């Protein structure tokens, strides 16, 4: 109660954030945060996953990597089928609402002050993580790597095809700390709409 906590997003600014300087302080990680583990000694104290992208094998692998550390983890109950086979004792399932909404405005009542009953999740797992953190009593809450302004993937030349003498086009993700992070099934317009609305909802809740 009344301890500070750092909420670690997965935006591009995270690659320039000295995460090792917050070791010893509470922090939350999200989704594919394990992609940064080979670059820092820092590890999150808590973990949240409410993304439907867990259905993709490469996403699921990276998500599971954090759970395997024994990190207390909060997972959307509808995604349980992807992790139940591991019989984790450090995973709690949370009831998420509005998980498939695309909105440019979220009413105040969407925010939940009782994460044991439900959390609102639309647009970003960070929104769910913030409600869990508030329920746990953390205060103040600092956001790191929570960048806005999503852009389309960047097309870059990959390895050359020796037989045909042509280079393959590879998509590089400019919206996350790792170029291979990706956000399958979501366009920049949808992400920008929901991300901004989610931040505004959290801001209004913080004012209260």
pLDDT digits 0-9 by tens, 199-208: 999 999 999 8
CB atoms within 10 A of CB 206: 13
pLDDT digits 0-9 by tens, 144-173: 999 999 998 887 765 544 555 555 556 789
Q: What pLDDT score does 165 carry?
A: 55
2 close to 137: Cβ distance less than 8 angstroms:
yes
pLDDT digits 0-9 by tens, 91-124: 999 999 998 888 999 999 999 999 999 999 998 9
Radius of gyration of the CA atoms of the chain, in A: 18
pLDDT digits 0-9 by tens, 47-66: 999 999 999 999 999 999 99
Burial classification of residue 46, based on how many CB atoms lie within 10 Å of its CB (0-12 exposed, 13-18 middle, 19 or more buried): buried
Pairwise CA distance, residues 195 & 98, whole Å = 14
Q: What pLDDT score does 192 carry?
A: 93
Q: What pLDDT score does 160 carry?
A: 45
**Is the model's pLDDT at 21 over the cut of 50?**
yes
**Is the model's pLDDT at 181 over the cut of 90?**
yes
Q: What pLDDT score does 161 carry?
A: 47
Q: What pLDDT score does 183 carry?
A: 84
Q: What pLDDT score does 42 carry?
A: 97
Q: How far is CA 82 from CA 86, 128, 154, 184, in A?
A: 9, 19, 30, 17
Candidates 201, 27, 208; CA nearest to 127 is 201
Question: Sign of the CA dihedral 50, 53, 55, 56?
Answer: negative
Provide the whole-model pTM: 0.91
């Amino acid at each position: 109660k009344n301890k500070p906590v750092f909420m670690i997003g997965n935006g591009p600014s995270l690659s320039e954030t000295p995460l090792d300087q917050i070791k010893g302080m509470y922090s939350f990680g999200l989704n594919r945060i394990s992609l940064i583990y080979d670059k820092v000694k820092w590890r999150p104290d808590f973990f949240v996953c409410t993304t439907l992208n867990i259905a993709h094998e490469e996403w699921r692998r990276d998500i599971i990597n954090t759970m395997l550390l024994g990190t207390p983890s909060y997972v959307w109950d509808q995604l349980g089928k992807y992790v139940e086979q591991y019989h984790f004792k450090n995973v709690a399932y949370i009831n998420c609402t509005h998980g498939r909404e695309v909105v440019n405005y979220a009413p105040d009542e969407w925010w939940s002050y009782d994460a044991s009953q439900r959390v609102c999740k639309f647009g970003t797992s960070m929104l769910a993580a913030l409600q869990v953190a508030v329920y746990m009593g953390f205060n103040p809450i600092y956001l790191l790597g929570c960048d806005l302004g999503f852009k389309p993937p960047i097309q870059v030349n990959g390895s050359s095809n020796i037989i045909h003498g042509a280079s393959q086009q590879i998509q590089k993700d400019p919206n996350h700390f790792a170029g291979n992070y990706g956000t399958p099934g979501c366009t920049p317009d949808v992400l920008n709409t929901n991300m901004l609305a989610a931040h505004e909802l959290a801001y209004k809740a913080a004012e209260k």
